[in-house]
């Protein structure tokens, strides 16, 4: 998926989690007499349930887990409770902090709601979390994430009023939601608002784009931007495959 064919600019938390995953694989392979050549291709569920894939440190609350979130709620949106649950679980693979977990659960709920056809007004409502509380099960959001959910991003001055596109996940969540709130229903304007906050600009815009894309739809994307996307056709096919597989999965559950 890299535009250069090689991984570049990987986040510290993700790099550390990958190293930890590899370390656990080697231990697991030795304990179960599995060759390293086979360890990436295990399909035995009885074995897999004994392997802990949550490799993120509890100290890690960076924005990396949030920027890659969209495929999860896109797959599970037909079952919002699962969309929220697995949005959080996807975070723990690389980021184990509670705030990161809950930021992903909340944003996953927003994306799922958008794909299900809820209006932007409903998504931006300070009451969204309360109205969809059943989606979150018995685990309430962390206080810092709930403050954002209640509308802390509603600041007319944006950067001048303290909105920052930082690496800290709660700040990144707030910044992306500010851009969505202030974009006047224009994906292009919102993406530029996110980027022009500076700091971790590409990640802020990526987080913004997931929710804005789910809400506004593919046809609302600036065509001159879309035409320049690397591996555009592959990404389109992959997106359709995620939706198709999610539909098949939902129909397989009684």
User: Which CATH number do you get for residue 173?
Assistant: 1.10.4080.10
Choose one of 16, 35, 55: the last residue of a domain: 55
121 — phi, psi (to 5°)? -60, -40
Structural domain that includes position 132: 58-252
Say if residue 75 is in the same domain as residue 184.
Answer: yes
Find, among 243, 226, 217, 239, the residue nearest to 120 by Cα. Answer: 217
Q: How far apart are the first and last CA of the chain?
A: 35
Find, among 123, 128, 153, the residue nearest to 141 by Cα. Answer: 128
Read off the tokens for 225. Answer: 């931007």
Say if residue 152 is in the same domain as residue 215.
Answer: yes
pLDDT at residue number 84: 98
Say if residue 139 is in the same domain as residue 21.
Answer: no
Give how many domains the chain has, as a whole number. Answer: 2
The answer to whether residue 158 sits within a structural domain is: yes
Say if residue 40 is in the same domain as residue 161.
Answer: no
Say if residue 43 is in the same domain as residue 91.
Answer: no
pLDDT at residue number 187: 98
Say if residue 105 is in the same domain as residue 230.
Answer: yes
pLDDT at residue number 235: 94
The answer to whether residue 228 sits within a structural domain is: yes
The answer to whether residue 140 sits within a structural domain is: yes
Say if residue 90 is in the same domain as residue 108.
Answer: yes
Say if residue 211 is in the same domain as residue 177.
Answer: yes
The answer to whether residue 19 sits within a structural domain is: yes
Read off the tokens for 223. Answer: 């065509």
Say if residue 233 is in the same domain as residue 206.
Answer: yes
**Burial classification of residue 134, based on how many CB atoms lie within 10 Å of its CB (0-12 exposed, 13-18 middle, 19 or more buried):** exposed
The answer to whether residue 2 sits within a structural domain is: no
Q: Tell me: the pLDDT tens digits for 151-196?
A: 999 999 999 999 999 999 999 999 999 999 999 999 999 999 999 9
Say if residue 130 is in the same domain as residue 192.
Answer: yes
pLDDT at residue number 57: 86
Say if residue 125 is in the same domain as residue 241.
Answer: yes
The answer to whether residue 23 sits within a structural domain is: yes
Low-confidence ranges of the chain (pLDDT < 70): none
pLDDT at residue number 104: 98
**Burial classification of residue 188, based on how many CB atoms lie within 10 Å of its CB (0-12 exposed, 13-18 middle, 19 or more buried):** middle
The answer to whether residue 46 sits within a structural domain is: yes
Say if residue 29 is in the same domain as residue 144.
Answer: no
pLDDT at residue number 105: 98
The answer to whether residue 1 sits within a structural domain is: no
Choose one of 55, 70, 91: the last residue of a domain: 55
């Amino acid at each position: 998926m890299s535009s250069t064919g090689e991984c570049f600019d990987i986040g510290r938390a993700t790099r550390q989690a990958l190293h930890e995953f590899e370390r656990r694989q080697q231990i697991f392979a030795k304990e179960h007499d599995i060759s390293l050549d086979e360890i990436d291709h295990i399909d035995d569920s009885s074995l897999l349930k004994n392997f802990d894939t949550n490799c993120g440190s509890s100290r890690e609350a960076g924005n990396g887990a949030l920027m890659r979130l969209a495929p999860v709620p896109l797959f599970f949106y037909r079952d919002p409770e699962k969309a929220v649950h697995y949005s959080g679980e996807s975070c723990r693979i690389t980021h184990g902090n509670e705030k990161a977990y809950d930021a992903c659960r909340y944003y996953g709920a927003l994306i799922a709601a958008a794909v299900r056809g809820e209006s932007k007004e409903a998504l931006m409502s300070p009451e969204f979390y309360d109205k969809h509380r059943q989606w979150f099960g018995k685990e309430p959001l962390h206080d810092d994430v709930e403050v954002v959910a209640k509308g802390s991003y509603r600041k007319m001055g944006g950067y001048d009023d303290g909105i920052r596109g930082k690496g800290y996940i709660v700040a990144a969540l707030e910044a992306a939601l500010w851009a969505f709130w202030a974009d006047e229903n224009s994906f292009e304007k919102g993406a530029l608002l996110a980027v022009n906050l500076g700091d971790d600009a590409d990640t802020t815009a990526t987080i913004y784009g997931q929710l804005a894309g789910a809400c506004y739809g593919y046809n609302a994307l600036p065509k001159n931007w879309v035409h320049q996307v690397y591996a555009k056709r592959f990404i389109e096919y992959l997106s359709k495959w995620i939706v198709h597989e999610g539909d098949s999965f939902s129909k397989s559950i009684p």
